[in-house]
């Protein structure tokens, strides 16, 4: 078995290394004119030179806020130390010193696009690597040199530049060549930058951008002979990668193959080179590379995913003009990328394999795979939030996305509320039945499960043991002395709540003057580049706070806002020493930085301030300080509580939180989810009619004859009498009465007809059949085969919901011309099949269904969508509960043959009841002696009508098959032959449309 893990980005990516001859390479045109590059290096990096120990005179100021950079102050206060400013992924390369007359190597690392808590452990700019290089080479950390011939220039090309032309990038930045055209006889090698990577600054040496697509539409020949190096991907979902890796190490999920993109543009790479890369990834890394054009990937990811889906799933309706202009085109590219994933998986898929699709980038993939492989085991896990139906319905392609998601056997979400939102959305928009366990489709069932992801403690432990973690944490703590540190790390996205965090912190300082010079907020934030207005607002707030509360004499600055992201080991270092960690997201899935903070606080055990709108709140809510980020007063009070909390309370809270993250770790999540895909697939396959055997009564005649007592439960509407057009072929009521009378004539047979009709209607219909038991209103009323009085099975149920439901149904009936409300003793039915506008009526019924289910669920009632009707009934009253009452009234052990006939969802519970009864009997027989086992033997059969997804074990094609089977069991061979040879004739089939009219008439007329 192979598990295909589909994610937009693979765990690994690569960089190209290109060598080319340059006649001018030996001349000192690169770097500082004097040949001493220390000054130039300071100009580019703002860091002190390791050789001179001097501080940069003109350190670059943060573009986000004109406040001192805390990290630079840390580095500058360390004389003769190799520890420098916290590493960040550079946006332009620096010029290292030449070695032995050779040309230096220039390296550009991949920028971090998504700030995930565990993504930067293996980055090229790790503090540990820089310290080792500095100690070995005697150079400033961050520089790497090598000795190569003077006439050979080596360039590390991370990726080719994307040739996507539409939609346009988020910002149009003009680029200028760093070298004049006449500086070299041959055009120098170019370091290629992704679309979302910052453009090179003016004057930055040795960084050229690849020719624009308008000037070059061909592949770049330099990549044909270039060798490449593979390293960890910085983009994508780090939590997913660690979870799969941890589960793979235990061997609990079998062989894993990743399916995704490498995260760089491919148009500039020729086919042979790309084929070589694909083969290396598949053979050596068990990874399948999905390749699409640069334009398709850019439109899909940068536009549709980031500008349409991401905001909407986080309760922000995308209404930006640029987002709307390109929505239709980017949707086509979104479909194309999803189709590329599906095609690649289908080409490798074998029966028995498992497909695990991840996140909102690939929502169409399950449905696409299902079309080509109907028997595939497919799971979909959404790592972000899922909005309410009112928000999701604003999406233009809402139907297509829902149908694509429902191609999975199992859909996983982070929280129960996300599951509820998805089920309500399917019910309202697709008008399908949403059950507690999942979504009931016509021919399949989709399981819905809440399964929050966790972290990998073993991987965290390895990272915590790195020497730079404690070194950096100790350095930060020493520089701040006894001040309390409030730490935060978020992307500067409106959904992350950075603005709300700063406003609450400002209120805390205003309300607590004694804390103004005793606490700092250290906030890391990477610019999202899509919300310049938010960036300006945050800048204004930071300036205002620092302007009000900065102490010039002591140099105390209350807020330190660092624009770039932080190296992972350095991040862990600050986590381990900070006094409070704040997560104030307005909407978010599972924030794993909370888990990492708890694990890192094994010594201090400081508290966590957590937004109630984060998925992590569902598992960490009891012992973290829960806040509403929109309530600034509450958040300010939580900050004060965290800073003044006693150590005893800290210990108690931390112990409980730590236990949670250790028990529900990443490996368990991956193993459980993949196991659920397999188990749910097996259960759903049993419900598929195409896999069911056709019911053959002759095969059970021996068991039928040997049984001392036989019990029948036969549905009326749709089983004995078909639902459908009035021209539909049907058996006459007289034939039905004749077959039932023949069965009831045998005293060993106990026959019960189940129906949604009222008791009085059933009595009129079957008054000519003696010894016939009746179950009315789908289990609400029971009349035994002894033809006694009706027993009200709803007397013990709470029907207090009926007045509220009556009011709701009246509201929707007034807005649906042609609809009718039918009120029964224990049920209420909203009929809309005869409505003037069928489309509007169905939409109103869907709204009504969700409205009632939301309000009446605590009272034990639920709404069930049917064809042309909406039924509201008690949850505890079913056909199965009535059947159990019948079995209890007779000698249950004496019943040797049980058969159930049905045709719709109201019969599924009685099917499951009968199947479970047979299983219990088998277990009882295994514990008895052979003679006792023979006496307790029970044959239980469940038969459905037509092709649908069901719990029944066998099926018949139509109502004629039901009557033929009943006639065969009664021993009436003549009637059996008559039903088998019945020719088409017109009659009056019972339809949902005329059911109410017919109930006022006698059925035997």
Mapping DSSP to helix (H, G, I), strand (E, B) and coil, where does residue 256 land? Answer: strand
pLDDT at 55: 39
pLDDT at 735 over 90: no
Region 356-367: mean pLDDT is 97
pLDDT at 839: 86
Cα–Cα distance measured from residue 610 to residue 608, given in angstroms and rounded to the nearest whole number: 6
Tokens at 347, concatenated: 């080409």
Q: Specify which residues 864 forms β-bridges with.
A: 871
pLDDT at 694: 87
Region 720-746: mean pLDDT is 73
pLDDT at 218: 55
Cα–Cα distance measured from residue 525 to residue 892, given in angstroms and rounded to the nearest whole number: 69
Mapping DSSP to helix (H, G, I), strand (E, B) and coil, where does residue 717 land? Answer: strand
- Give the C-alpha distances (Å, rounded to integers) separating 49 from 89, 125, 205, 399, 494: 19, 18, 19, 59, 38
Q: How confident is the model at residue 894 (pLDDT cuts 50, 70, 90)?
A: confident
90-104, 243-257, 905-919: segment of lowest average pLDDT: 90-104
Residues 290 and 362 sit within 8 Å (Cβ to Cβ): no
Cα–Cα distance measured from residue 257 to residue 246, given in angstroms and rounded to the nearest whole number: 14
Tens digits of residue pLDDT in 426-467: 988 988 888 888 998 877 899 999 999 999 999 999 999 999
Tens digits of residue pLDDT in 32-53: 333 444 344 333 333 333 333 3
Instruction: Determine the distance from the C-alpha atom of residue 331 to the mean position of all C-alpha atoms in its chain, rounded to a whole number.
Output: 20
Most confident of 170-179, 312-321, 357-366, 779-788: 357-366
Tens digits of residue pLDDT in 762-795: 999 999 999 999 999 999 899 998 878 899 888 7
Residues 508 and 549 sit within 8 Å (Cβ to Cβ): no
Tokens at 216, concatenated: 């070059």
- Pairing relationship of beta strands 954-956 and 152-157 according to DSSP bridges: unpaired
Q: How confident is the model at residue 185 (pLDDT cuts 50, 70, 90)?
A: very low
What is the side-by-side order of every strand in the sheet holding 709-715?
791-792, 781-783, 772-776, 749-754, 709-715, 895-902, 939-945, 954-956
Q: How confident is the model at residue 982 (pLDDT cuts 50, 70, 90)?
A: low
> Can you tell me which residue has the tokens 């979400």?
413
pLDDT at 162: 54
Most confident of 50-64, 94-108, 423-437: 423-437
Q: How confident is the model at residue 723 (pLDDT cuts 50, 70, 90)?
A: low
Burial of 3 from C-beta contacts in 10 A (0-12 / 13-18 / 19+): buried
Cα–Cα distance measured from residue 900 to residue 918, given in angstroms and rounded to the nearest whole number: 12
Concatenate the DSSP letters of all residues of 340-396 into one string.
Answer: HHHHHHHHH--TT-EEEEESGGGTTHHHHHHHH-TT-EEEEE--S----HHHHTTST
Residues 756 and 778 sit within 8 Å (Cβ to Cβ): yes
Tens digits of residue pLDDT in 324-333: 667 888 999 9
pLDDT at 39: 40
**Kind and range of the H or E element at 595?**
helix 592-600
pLDDT at 925: 53
Q: Is the dihedral of CA 523, 524, 530, 536 positive or negative?
A: positive
pLDDT at 171: 37
* Local structure of residue 87 (DSSP, 8 states): P
Torsion, Cα 461 246 583 116, to 10 degrees, reads 100
Q: Specify which residues 947 forms β-bridges with.
A: none
Cα–Cα distance measured from residue 825 to residue 758, given in angstroms and rounded to the nearest whole number: 8
pLDDT at 370 over 60: yes
Q: How confident is the model at residue 342 (pLDDT cuts 50, 70, 90)?
A: very high
Region 951-957: mean pLDDT is 88
Cα–Cα distance measured from residue 754 to residue 745, given in angstroms and rounded to the nearest whole number: 19
Mapping DSSP to helix (H, G, I), strand (E, B) and coil, where does residue 721 land? Answer: strand
pLDDT at 976: 58
Residues 962 and 719 sit within 8 Å (Cβ to Cβ): yes
Concatenate the DSSP letters of all residues of 911-925 into one string.
Answer: HHHHHHHHHHHHHHH
pLDDT at 334: 96
Tens digits of residue pLDDT in 620-670: 988 999 999 999 999 999 999 999 999 999 999 999 999 999 999 999 999
pLDDT at 436: 85
Q: Specify which residues 20 forms β-bridges with.
A: 153
| Residue 14: closest CA among 197, 297, 231 | 231
Region 810-835: mean pLDDT is 91
pLDDT at 501: 97
Q: Give, rounded to a whole angstrom, the gap between the first and last alpha carbons of the chain.
A: 62
* Local structure of residue 694 (DSSP, 8 states): B
What is the overall mean pLDDT for the chain? 78
Count CB-CB contacts under 10 A for residue 789: 8
Q: How confident is the model at residue 9 (pLDDT cuts 50, 70, 90)?
A: very high
Burial of 174 from C-beta contacts in 10 A (0-12 / 13-18 / 19+): exposed
Cα–Cα distance measured from residue 657 to residue 454, given in angstroms and rounded to the nearest whole number: 12
pLDDT above 70 covers a percentage of the chain that reads: 72
Region 550-570: mean pLDDT is 91
144-148, 391-395, 604-608, 618-622: segment of lowest average pLDDT: 144-148
pLDDT at 183: 38
Residues 22 and 295 sit within 8 Å (Cβ to Cβ): no
Tens digits of residue pLDDT in 497-531: 999 999 999 999 999 999 999 999 999 987 766 67
pLDDT at 85 over 70: no
**Kind and range of the H or E element at 660?**
helix 647-663
Residues 209 and 426 sit within 8 Å (Cβ to Cβ): no
Q: How confident is the model at residue 124 (pLDDT cuts 50, 70, 90)?
A: very low
Cα–Cα distance measured from residue 76 to residue 245, given in angstroms and rounded to the nearest whole number: 40
Domains within the chain, CATH numbers bracketed: 1-69+85-240 (no CATH), 457-663 (3.40.50.2000), 694-793+877-998 (3.40.50.1000), 802-873 (3.30.70)
**Kind and range of the H or E element at 539?**
helix 532-549
- The residues, any chain, with a CB within 8 Å of residue 108's CB and separated by 6 or more, are 90, 92, 93, 156, 158, 191, 193, 207
**Better-scored residue on pLDDT, 162 or 355:** 355
> Can you tell me which residue has the tokens 């098959």?
961
Cα–Cα distance measured from residue 681 to residue 372, given in angstroms and rounded to the nearest whole number: 17
> Can you tell me which residue has the tokens 């697939």?
681
374-388, 517-531, 632-646, 733-747: segment of lowest average pLDDT: 517-531
Strands of 878-986, DSSP E = 895-902, 939-945, 954-956
pLDDT at 811 over 90: yes
Cα–Cα distance measured from residue 405 to residue 361, given in angstroms and rounded to the nearest whole number: 12
Count CB-CB contacts under 10 A for residue 412: 26
pLDDT at 104 over 70: no
pLDDT at 671 over 80: yes
| Residue 799: closest CA among 856, 761, 746, 748 | 856
pLDDT at 37: 41
pLDDT above 90 covers a percentage of the chain that reads: 45
pLDDT at 432: 86
Residues 98 and 106 sit within 8 Å (Cβ to Cβ): no
pLDDT at 929 over 50: no
Region 3-13: mean pLDDT is 95
Residues 725 and 991 sit within 8 Å (Cβ to Cβ): yes
Q: How confident is the model at residue 943 (pLDDT cuts 50, 70, 90)?
A: very high
Mapping DSSP to helix (H, G, I), strand (E, B) and coil, where does residue 609 land? Answer: strand
pLDDT at 29 over 90: no
């Amino acid at each position: 078995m192979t598990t295909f893990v589909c994610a937009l980005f693979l765990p690994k990516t690569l960089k190209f290394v290109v060598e080319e001859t340059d006649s001018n390479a030996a001349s000192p045109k690169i770097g500082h004119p004097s040949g001493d590059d220390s000054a130039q290096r300071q100009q580019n990096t703002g860091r002190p030179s390791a050789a001179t120990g001097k501080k940069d005179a003109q350190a670059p100021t943060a573009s986000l806020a004109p406040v001192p950079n805390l990290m630079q102050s840390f580095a500058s206060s360390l004389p003769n130390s190799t520890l420098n400013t916290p590493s960040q992924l550079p946006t332009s390369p620096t010029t290292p010193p030449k070695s032995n007359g050779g040309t230096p190597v220039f390296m550009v690392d991949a920028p971090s696009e998504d700030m995930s808590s565990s993504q930067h452990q293996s980055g090229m700019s790790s503090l540990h690597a820089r310290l080792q290089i500095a100690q070995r080479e005697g150079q400033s950390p961050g520089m790497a040199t090598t000795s190569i011939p003077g006439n050979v220039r080596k360039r590390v090309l991370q990726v080719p530049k994307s040739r996507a032309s539409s939609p346009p990038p988020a910002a149009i930045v003009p680029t200028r060549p760093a070298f004049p055209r006449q500086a070299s006889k041959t055009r120098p090698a170019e370091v290629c930058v992704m679309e979302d990577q910052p453009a090179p600054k003016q004057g930055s040496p040795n960084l050229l951008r690849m020719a624009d697509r308008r000037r070059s539409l061909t592949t770049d020949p330099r990549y044909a002979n270039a060798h490449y190096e593979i390293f960890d991907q910085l983009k994508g979902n780090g939590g997913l990668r660690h979870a799969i890796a941890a589960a793979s190490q235990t061997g609990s999920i079998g062989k894993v193959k990743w399916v995704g993109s490498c995260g760089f543009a491919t148009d500039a790479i020729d086919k042979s080179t790309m084929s070589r890369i694909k083969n290396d990834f598949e053979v050596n890394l068990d990874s399948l590379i999905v390749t699409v054009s640069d334009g398709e990937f850019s439109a899909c990811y940068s536009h549709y995913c980031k500008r349409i889906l991401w905001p909407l799933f986080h309760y922000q309706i995308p209404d930006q003009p640029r987002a709307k202009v390109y929505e239709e085109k980017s949707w086509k590219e979104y479909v194309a990328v999803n189709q590329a994933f599906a095609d690649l998986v289908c080409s490798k898929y074998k029966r028995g394999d498992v497909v695990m699709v991840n996140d909102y980038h690939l929502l169409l993939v399950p449905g696409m795979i299902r079309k080509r492989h109907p028997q595939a085991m497919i799971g979909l896990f959404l790592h972000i939030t899922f909005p309410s139906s009112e928000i999701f319905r604003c999406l233009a392609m809402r139907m297509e996305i829902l149908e694509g998601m429902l191609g999975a056997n199992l859909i996983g979400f982070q929280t129960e509320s996300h599951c509820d939102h998805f089920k309500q959305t399917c019910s309202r928009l697709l008008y399908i039945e949403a059950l507690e366990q999942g979504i009931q489709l016509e021919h399949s069932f989709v399981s819905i499960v809440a399964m929050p992801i966790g972290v990998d403690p073993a991987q965290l432990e390895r990272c915590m043991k790195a020497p730079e973690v404690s070194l950096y944490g100790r350095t930060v703590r020493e520089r701040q002395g006894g001040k309390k540190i409030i730490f935060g790390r978020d992307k500067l996205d409106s959904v992350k709540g950075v603005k709300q965090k700063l406003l609450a912190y400002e209120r805390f300082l205003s309300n607590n003057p004694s804390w103004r010079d005793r606490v700092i907020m250290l906030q890391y934030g990477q610019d999202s580049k899509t919300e310049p207005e938010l960036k300006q607002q945050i800048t204004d707030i930071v300036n205002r706070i620092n302007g009000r509360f900065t102490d010039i004499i002591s140099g105390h600055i209350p807020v330190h806002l660092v624009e770039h992201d932080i190296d992972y080991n350095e991040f862990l270092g600050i986590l381990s020493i900070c006094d409070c960690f704040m997560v104030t997201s307005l909407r978010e899935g599972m924030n794993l930085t909370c888990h990492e903070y708890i694990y890192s606080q094994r010594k201090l055990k400081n508290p966590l301030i957590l937004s109630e709108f984060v998925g992590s709140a569902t598992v960490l809510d009891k012992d973290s300080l829960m806040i509403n980020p929109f309530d600034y007063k509450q958040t300010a009070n939580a900050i004060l509580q965290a800073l003044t909390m006693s150590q005893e309370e800290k210990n108690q809270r931390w112990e409980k939180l730590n236990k949670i993250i250790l028990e529900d770790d990443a490996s368990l999540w991956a193993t459980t989810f993949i196991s659920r895909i397999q188990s749910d697939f097996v259960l759903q396959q049993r419900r598929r009619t195409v896999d069911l055997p056709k019911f053959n009564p002759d095969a059970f005649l021996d068991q039928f004859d040997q049984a001392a007592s036989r019990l029948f439960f036969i549905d009326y509407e749709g089983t004995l009498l078909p639902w459908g057009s009035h021209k539909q072929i049907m058996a006459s009521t007289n034939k039905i009465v004749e077959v039932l009378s023949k069965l009831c004539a045998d005293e060993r047979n106990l026959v019960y007809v189940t129906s949604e009709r009222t008791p009085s209607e059933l009595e009129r219909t079957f008054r000519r059949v003696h010894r016939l038991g009746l179950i009315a209103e789908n289990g609400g009323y029971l009349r035994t085969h002894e033809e006694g009085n009706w027993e009200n099975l709803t007397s013990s149920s709470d029907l207090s919901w009926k007045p509220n439901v009556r009011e709701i149904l009246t509201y929707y009936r007034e807005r649906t011309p042609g609809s009718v409300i039918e009120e029964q003793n224990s049920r209420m039915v909203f009929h809309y099949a005869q409505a003037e506008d069928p489309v509007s009526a169905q939409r109103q019924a869907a709204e009504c269904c969700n409205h009632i289910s939301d309000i009446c669920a605590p009272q034990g009632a639920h709404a069930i969508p049917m064809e042309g009707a909406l039924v509201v009934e008690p949850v505890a009253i079913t056909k199965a509960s009535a059947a159990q009452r019948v079995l209890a009234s007779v000698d249950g052990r004496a019943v040797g043959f049980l058969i159930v006939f049905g045709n719709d969802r109201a019969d599924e519970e009685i099917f499951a009841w009968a199947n479970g009864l047979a299983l219990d009997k088998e277990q009882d027989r295994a514990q008895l002696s052979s003679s006792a086992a023979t006496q307790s033997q029970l044959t239980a059969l469940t038969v459905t009508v037509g092709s649908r997804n069901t719990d029944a074990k066998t099926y018949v094609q139509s109502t004629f098959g039901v009557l033929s089977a009943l006639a065969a069991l009664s021993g009436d061979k003549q009637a059996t032959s008559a039903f088998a040879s019945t020719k088409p004739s017109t009659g009056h089939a019972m339809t949902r449309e005329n059911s109410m009219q017919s109930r006022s008439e006698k059925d035997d007329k």
